[in-house]
Amino acid sequence: MEQPATTTTRSSRLNRQQNQQNNQGLNTQRQQQQSGQQLNSQQQQNQERQQDRQDPNRQQNNQGLNAQQQRQQNQQAGQQLNNQQQQQQDRLGYDAQQNQQNLNAQRQQQQGQQNNCAQQFKQAGQIGNAQHQQQQQQNQQQHPRLIH
């Protein structure tokens, strides 16, 4: 009868040991699950923090992009203004050049007219001289004694 008691005691011990091992295994699993959950929650918190950090970064990036776009628009507006000013200067320069050419043409015409006037005056003088000489010759022929 002692043998069955010993066997029962042994099996009870084995059962207890197995239960302890099972409990330890369960505890280990629970700890691992808890560790995993903690890790997951830490990762989630880190992600949330990173998103919180990224949002201001996004805002800063957007502000930077907006500022860059504003600078580009300002540069384009400045270039357009410079182009308009350059076109106006070119137009003024062209107009000034045209005015100068017109003035030069007018001067040439005036000089030509003055030359024509001088030529005509010279011709008139020559004609006048010729007429005077002819008159003198006629006078001498008619009045040979008159000495001029």
Q: What is the pLDDT of residues 81-132, one digit of tens each?
A: 999 999 988 888 888 889 999 999 998 888 888 788 878 888 888 888 888 8
Asked if the model's pLDDT at residue 147 lies above 80, the reply is: no
The set of residues, in sequence order, having a beta carbon less than 8 Å from that of 139 and lying 6+ positions away, is: 146, 148
Structural domain includes residue 120: yes
What is the domain range of residue 126? 89-141
Q: Look at residue 32 and tell me if it is in a domain.
A: no
Residues 36-82 pLDDT 10s: 777 777 788 788 777 767 676 666 777 777 888 888 888 988 899 99
Is 100 domain-assigned?
yes
The torsion defined by the Cα of 29, 33, 34 and 40, in degrees rounded to 10, comes to: 160
Amino acid, res. 145 = R
Q: What is the pTM of this model?
A: 0.32
Tokens of 13: 């011990």
Q: Would 47 be classed as within a structural domain?
A: no
Q: Once rounded to an integer, what is the mean pLDDT over residues 127-143?
A: 79
- Contact criterion met (CB below 8 Å) for 146 and 136: no
On whether residue 2 sits in a domain, the answer given is no
* Structural domains in the chain (count): 1
Is the pLDDT confidence value at 34 over 80?
no
Does residue 38 lie within any of the structural domains?
no
